[in-house]
Every structure is written in C-alpha cells, then in structure tokens.
Amino acid sequence: MKIKMILPALTEAKSPYWRPIKYSLFPPLGLATLAAYCSPDDEIELQDEHVEELKTDDEPDLVIIQVYITNAFRGYKLADHYRYKGAYICLGGLHVSSLPEEAIPHADSLFIGPGEDIFPQFLKDFRNGHPKKIYTNAKRDISEIPPIRRDLIKRQLYLVPNSIVVSRGCPHHCDFCYKDAFFEGGKSFYTQKADAALAEIDRLPGRHLYFLDDHLLGNQKFSAALFEGMKGMNRVFQGASTLDAVLRGDSIERAAAAGLRSVFIGFETLNEANLLQSNKRQNLGKDYERAIRRLHSLGIMINGSFVFGLDEDDPDVFKRTVDWAVKNALTTCTFHILTPYPGTRLFSKMESEGRILHRNWDRFDTRQVVYKTVGLNAYQLKAGYDWAYRSFYSWKNILHASLQHDQLKHMIKHFAYAGGWKKFEPMWNFMIKTKGLNNMLPLLESILSRVKYKNDFKTLRPLSPFPAIA
C-alpha cells in the first residue's frame, strides 16, 4: 500500500515576514511515530512542507495529514486534492480534535486525540475494508510503542535532526493552552518507560538532542531515571520545563548533569492577576529570579516565553517585560500576542463574551490580534509586541543581557547564542537554500558546551532588584 503522510506548512512559515530558520530547527515526530505502526511492506513517504516543496502529482492509496490551527485551510485543500484523485483521507492533530465538525467534510476518517491506540486500529479496519468515520483516543499509554520511523525523516534539512519526545501532554491546565482539547477525556500527562526512552536516545547519532516534550521535568520519578541513564552519554540537549519544577527538588541539577544546556520556560506574565486569569497557577507565588539564578548557576541558558494582551496588561507592559528579561539575562525570548485557540477555556470564555473577531485560522498565529482587547487597544497591542522583539534583540540589549552574567565565558556564550539566533538571518537563509543547515550543528554544540560555575545557586548575587512578581 502507498501511504503519504503530510505536515502542511503553517501559514506564518510561508510569510515573507517570518523566519525560515524557525521552522527548520528540528523534525516534528507525530507522523513518523504513527508510521511505525504500518506494515514493512507499505511504501511510505513523509513530507514536511516547512522544509521541502510538496509533491502533489503522486497517487497514494492512503493520505494522512496532521492539522494545526494555522495550517488547517492548507490541510483541507490538500485533503480535497487527494480525495479527488481517489485516495482515502485521514485527518488528525490538535485542530481536528478541537473542531472535528469543521474537519469532517474534508476527510474519510478523523483521528481525535493522541494516535497511539487509534492508528493501529484504523489500519486494521482499513485493511479489512471497514474503516470508521471517527476514531477517538481511549487509551493513554506510551510505555510500549514501536521505535519512531526515523528513516522517513530527511535529517539533512534540519539544524537539529535529533528531536525526541518521551512524554505526552502537560500536568498543568492553563486556560490559553492549545493542548487541553487534544487530551480531553483522559490522562493529560504520561511518559514512556525510562529504559525505552534511553534506548531511543541510543539510536540517535551525534551529541545534540532536542526534547520536544511540553514538560520534560513533569514526572520527577521518570525524569530522575532518564537523566541518571543519560549521564556518561556525552550528550548536550535542550528542552522545556516549568518554574515550579526548576525550584522543586533536585530535578534541574540532575538534568544539568545529564547535559541540559538550554531550557524553555513559560514565564508568560509578570502580573499575578494575569496568572490567576489564565489559570497559570504553577507560577503563582514562585520566585522567578531565584529560578533564573539556579539555572544560570548550572550553566543552563533560558528561553523565556511571554504573552501580551492579557486583561490586566497596560501600555507599559512591553517595556517592563523587556527590561526585566534583559536585567535577568534571559538568553532568548519568545513573545506572543494572546491567542484564543478553539477548544480552550479561553476561547469558550471569549466567545461567550462576544470577543472573538473572526474564524480566519490563518491569522491565529500569536502575532496578530484576533479578539476584542481589554486595557490595550488592538493597535497598542500589535505595536508593543513588535517593539518588544526589536528591543530585546537589539545589539545594545543583547550585550547588556550578556554582561549580567558572573563569568566571561557565559557572557560570550550568551552573546554568541542570542546574536547568532537573531542577527544573522541572511546566513541562515543561505544555509537553508543550499541545504547545508545541518553543517551548522557542530557550532551550535560548541556554543552549548558547559560553563562551570564556582558558586552554588543559593549564594549567587541577585541579577535585579525587581520582585519575583510585579
């Protein structure tokens, strides 16, 4: 059987104002994970439109398309194209799980929720000639799943080809989070067995790993076993965590000893009322700056995530946030305009209040205003968001943030990483177009190499006089 698996490009990824490197960082693994359930006799092609031009003149028997909100219209168009050619169409992913009634006219079968139990059953039904219209996830267990079909991934097209996922979901439930609808009706966070995760890591060549998990430290027992097993592997890796996990126990020290060199942290806001409004309770009462000092003491760089446009934000929120991030030496920042995704509590609340402006999903990309704002008007919000990116990544602020560190090596490391990520766009574009992006990996590994600190995190000087929560 000929099977075509497609990840359509997000609308923003094809915009002339967006950064191609952002979508060439690492291969997504959802489709390659499902492909592991197919028969060895199946002829499978996996295409990621973010890094390659789609071939649409082929004639597969079965087409599986992964749908997010800003690739939904593109996904439906591809589904209709292949359906017209006689292929059987399956749609799944976050957007399909959120709005199955919208997706169903474009598909022969829908996958609702995680696919580890859905997809094997669908394949069995399809081969027997009796596939169902809708398959809904019922079992939340990835303790025993087959190895990802990494042979289908075009490694040379990504900066970091060694992406890996060892868990599903997140133990927290923020009102604006896109994932809650996907995991509705069952466990929202669960992990592989540590031995299986370590075996998957052993399959990956080179040193660098990028964990795509929403919360790598979400299960202390699992993460302790994982990091203990990784010690001595000579790996360097990046991942995501929450503030409370950084401050709780010794999980972050174990991660650093195993090779963690950069972590994504959802600070989201410096305003406690906004945290309450968003149900971001895991951040309430947490000492942001103590967490930052602890990470820096371990030589771990920080990518801080912030959301603008929450109801308690005022016109000064942009400068206040950027100044705080620079003074606290965050290496990189990801800023977002608050976006009410369908399937979230935020969307339901705003829809009931008449605040959703439209359903043009192409514009729900966290850089455009798609709802009626409070506190800030739409122009202020968009202008402030754009200013925050320009200001934080100005050479002046990159240098100033770098100089907040205690050691020269970490200052240089910070400056090289932040500057290289944001200030050399022509170089990144050239490497992408010449298919040489993967050749930059040794440089990234060098920048991520460990900086040893003399001081324990508890005794490091404060990086700014600001309180943890403004």
Domains of the chain: 2-136 (3.40.50.280), 159-459 (3.20.20.70)
Residue whose pair of structure tokens reads 């950069």 in the numeric block: 262
pLDDT at 60: 98
Name the region of 180 (left: φ>0; alpha: ψ -120 to 50; beta: rest).
alpha
Token pair of 82, please? 């292949």
Give the tens place of pLDDT for each residue, 323-365. Answer: 999 999 999 999 999 999 999 999 999 999 999 999 999 999 9
Q: Measure the CA–CA gap between 90 and 103, rounded to whole angstroms.
A: 10
Q: How far is CA 283 from CA 52, 216, 243, 291, 297, in A?
A: 39, 17, 6, 11, 21
Torsion of CA 152, 157, 158, 164, to 10 degrees: 0
Q: Give, in degrees to the nearest 5, the angle at Cα 320 between 336 and 170.
A: 40
pLDDT at 364: 96
Q: Measure the CA–CA gap between 275 and 292, rounded to whole angstroms.
A: 19
Q: Measure the CA–CA gap between 356 and 348, rounded to whole angstroms.
A: 9
Among 235-244, 391-400, 419-428, the least confident range:
419-428
Among 67-71, 285-289, 446-450, the least confident range:
446-450
pLDDT at 16: 67
- What is the mean pLDDT of the segment spanning 244-251? 93
Q: How far is CA 87 from CA 17, 55, 62, 81, 401, in A?
A: 35, 15, 5, 9, 54
Nearest to 65 by CA among 114, 107, 121: 107
Q: Measure the CA–CA gap between 87 and 229, rounded to whole angstroms.
A: 44
pLDDT band of 18, cuts 50, 70, 90: low
Beta carbons within 10 angstroms of residue 173's beta carbon: 16
Checking if the pLDDT of 66 tops 80, the result is yes
274-287 CB burial, b ≥16 within 10 A, e <16: bbebbbbebbeebe
pLDDT band of 284, cuts 50, 70, 90: confident
Q: Measure the CA–CA gap between 13 and 289, rounded to whole angstroms.
A: 33
SS3 letters for 319-359? Answer: HHHHHHHHHCCCCEEEEEECCCCCCCHHHHHHHHCCCECCC
Phi, psi for 234 (deg, rounded to 5): 60, 45
Give the tens place of pLDDT for each residue, 155-172. Answer: 999 999 999 999 999 988
Q: Measure the CA–CA gap between 66 and 9, rounded to whole angstroms.
A: 10
pLDDT at 212: 96
